[in-house]
Amino acid sequence: MNGERGSESSGRVQLIISAKSSGPGGFTSKLAGLPREEMHQRFTAALEAAAVEVFQMMVGTSLEPADQSALARVADYTAMIGLAGDLCGVLSFRCSSGAAERIAAQMMGTDENISAECIRDALGEICNMVAGSFKAQVSDLAGQCMLSVPTVVSGKDYQMYSLVDGLRIQVFKTFEGALVRMTLDLHNN
């Protein structure tokens, strides 16, 4: 993730995420030869499987299918991680503050109040593990791919804009009734 900047307009913070490779970047020859629709299906299935695996193993809860039209447009927490190499882009995980607190509590194995620092830590790790698991599942197509350090944004009044110009993969799920969304924005090169 090369560039990330925030600006404030009409009281709402706008986060603009840019992912540009400093190396060759873009799609590898294997990916370039894959029809876009097939790539979309393959990556969607891999992202969904990655999210389900991470929640089952590390949170101890199954993610359920979600009606994406019901997802609130404003999320209280957004965790992001950059990808560089054979795949170049940004993976984000978004959820409400209630869902974030429950995810962190279950990861910590406690019912006690969870600090904001722990919530950010937990969501950063979720995003990191989903990205790592996704990467492993598409390793035949994109074997060389590095992950950045995760970033977590929290607040009630912000909008996300991605400058990444390629494929967008979105997976909507519910976690204990709360909607969560994972988005993978890939750079075209």
Partner 1 sequence: MNALRVLIVDDSSVMRKIVDRSLRQAGLAIKEVFEASNGVEALARMQQTRVDLILSDINMPAMDGLELVRQLQAVENAQGVPIVMITTEAGETHVVQALSNGARGYIRKPFSPDQIKERIIPLLEEQP
Residue ranges in contact with partner 1 by CB under 8 A: 53-54, 56-58, 104, 107-109, 118, 121-122, 124-125, 128-129, 131-133, 135-136, 139, 143-145, 147, 149
CB nearer to partner 1: give 71 or 153. 153
Token reading at 69: 């039209």
Q: Are 113 and 52 in contact (CB under 8 A)?
A: no
- Report the amino acid identity of residue 32: A
CB nearer to partner 1: give 71 or 180. 180
CB nearer to partner 1: give 4 or 121. 121
Compute the least distance from the CB of residue 29 to partner 1, in Å.
18
Phi, psi of 84 (to 5 degrees): -140, 145
- Report the amino acid identity of residue 10: S
Compute the least distance from the CB of residue 107 to partner 1, in Å.
5
CB nearer to partner 1: give 2 or 139. 139
DSSP H helices in the chain:
29-32, 36-54, 97-108, 116-137
